[in-house]
């Protein structure tokens, strides 16, 4: 038994050092090479941080493009979905309430035209992006409230649309924070 205690203690100490010091320092060092230096990609205006490019935020005023709903109140510490299926009556009521609110704020839009992402939360509850179609369906409301021509807003959505990663992976998307910041820059 004494012959096993020495190697077990050495292995324990080696793994303790490796997993509690070396590995975290290595991962932290690699993270410093990522955009934002491992702290996320902040969006700043005149030196003031106004949000994070990779975390969804709530935009509910009619003068802004609305974000995708969040099941976690846009709290990145509690990332997660609602975990309710489409047959859950509470979930169906929640989605119907979102549809009713959207239709109330966007007259002239029919329920069948609403992209699902505008009334359902993402799996993380923090999705910062919308499809170009989900942004475009909101243009008439924003044009009316801000007294802007819809063509100008369509061009803005086009300018803010990002293509698939490497031209192959994923859909086209529009970052809602960046789109709304660009919207505020319009005269």
Question: Each residue of 148-159: pLDDT tens digit?
Answer: 999 999 999 999
Looking at the fold, whether 104 and 140 belong to one and the same domain comes out as yes
**In which domain, by residue range, is 83 found?**
54-185
Looking at the fold, whether 93 and 179 belong to one and the same domain comes out as yes
Looking at the fold, whether 35 and 60 belong to one and the same domain comes out as no
pLDDT of residue 70: 85
Q: Which residues of 111-148 are buried (b: 16+ CB within 10 A; e: fewer)?
A: eeebbebbbbbbebbbbbbbbbebbbbbbebbbeebeb
Looking at the fold, whether 35 and 75 belong to one and the same domain comes out as no
Looking at the fold, whether 111 and 24 belong to one and the same domain comes out as no
Q: pLDDT digits over 65-84, tens only?
A: 999 888 888 777 777 777 78
Q: How far is CA 65 from CA 70, 125, 174, in A?
A: 15, 17, 11
Looking at the fold, whether 4 and 78 belong to one and the same domain comes out as no
In a domain, 108, yes or no: yes
pLDDT of residue 123: 78
What domain count does the chain have?
2
In a domain, 45, yes or no: no
Looking at the fold, whether 161 and 79 belong to one and the same domain comes out as yes
pLDDT classification of 34: cutoffs 50, 70, 90: confident
Distance, CA of 148 to CA of 39 (rounded, Å)? 36
Res 39 pLDDT > 70? no
Looking at the fold, whether 106 and 168 belong to one and the same domain comes out as yes
Distance, CA of 134 to CA of 143 (rounded, Å)? 15
pLDDT of residue 49: 73
What is the pTM for the complete model shown? 0.75
């Amino acid at each position: 038994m004494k012959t096993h205690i020495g190697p077990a203690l050495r292995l324990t100490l080696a793994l303790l050092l490796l997993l509690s010091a070396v590995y975290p320092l290595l991962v932290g060092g690699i993270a410093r090479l990522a955009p934002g230096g491992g702290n996320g990609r902040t969006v700043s205006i005149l030196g003031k941080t106004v949000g994070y490019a990779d975390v969804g935020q709530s935009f509910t005023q009619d003068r802004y493009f609305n974000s995708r709903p969040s099941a976690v109140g846009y709290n990145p510490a509690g990332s997660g979905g609602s975990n309710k299926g489409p047959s859950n009556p509470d979930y169906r009521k929640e989605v119907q309430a979102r549809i009713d609110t959207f239709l109330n704020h966007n007259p002239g839009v029919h329920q069948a035209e609403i992209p699902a992402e505008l009334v359902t939360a993402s799996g993380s509850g923090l999705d910062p992006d919308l499809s170009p179609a989900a942004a475009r369906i909101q243009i008439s409301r924003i044009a009316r409230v801000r007294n802007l021509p819809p063509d100008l807003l369509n061009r803005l959505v086009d300018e803010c649309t990002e293509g698939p990663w490497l031209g192959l992976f994923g859909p086209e998307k529009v970052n809602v924070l960046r789109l709304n910041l660009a919207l505020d820059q319009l005269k």
